[in-house]
Amino acid sequence: MADKRVAVTGDVEAKPGTKMFTGAASGTWTAGPVTYTSYNHLSVGGKSVIHGANCTFTFTGSTSNGAPVTGSETVTLQAGQTVLQKGLSGVLRNGDTATGDKFDNELEVKTASVLSSN
């Protein structure tokens, strides 16, 4: 049986990557705020159920010569085509992930919210 835990606002964790930005010899990634795309009339425990999230990660570091290196990568997490009541589709579920193109920055859903039907 499929996992019935659905993501609500606040359930997406941003995990900074460990790969260096192009040209950098050292540095770190920092996650910005996660922004959410939610359903207007679907909620669990007073929080909106979401079907998308994104986050921009920023890199601050330096080259082997000490020159500064900065960069950014935006990671977008979109729901798959899970069927939902009344024709709505695509909610993020527990364990869904998305990774950036080059630097391993990641978004991951960690939730305990269960969408129930009455």
CB of 89 within 8 A of CB of 42?
no
* Percentage of the residues of the chain whose pLDDT score is greater than 90: 62
- Tell me what pLDDT residue 89 has: 58
Average pLDDT score over residue span 54-66: 97
Confidence of residue 83 (pLDDT cuts 50, 70, 90): low
Whether residue 114 lies inside any domain: the answer is no
Whether residue 117 lies inside any domain: the answer is no
Rounded to whole angstroms, the maximal C-alpha distance in the chain is 63
Whether residue 28 lies inside any domain: the answer is yes
Average pLDDT score over residue span 16-42: 94
Asked whether the predicted pLDDT for residue 97 surpasses 60, the reply is yes
Confidence of residue 45 (pLDDT cuts 50, 70, 90): confident
- Tell me what pLDDT residue 84 has: 57
Structural domain including 50 reads 12-109
Distances in Å between the alpha carbon of 32 and those of 40, 58, 67?
24, 7, 24
If one counts the domains in the chain, the total is 1
**Most trustworthy range by pLDDT among 1-5, 6-10, 29-33, 47-51:** 29-33
**Cα–Cα dist 75/93, whole Å:** 17
Query: How is residue 42 written in tokens?
Result: 């679907």
Distances in Å between the alpha carbon of 100 and those of 23, 56, 81, 83?
18, 10, 21, 26
Query: How is residue 54 written in tokens?
Result: 């994104």
Whether residue 7 lies inside any domain: the answer is no
- Tell me what pLDDT residue 1 has: 45
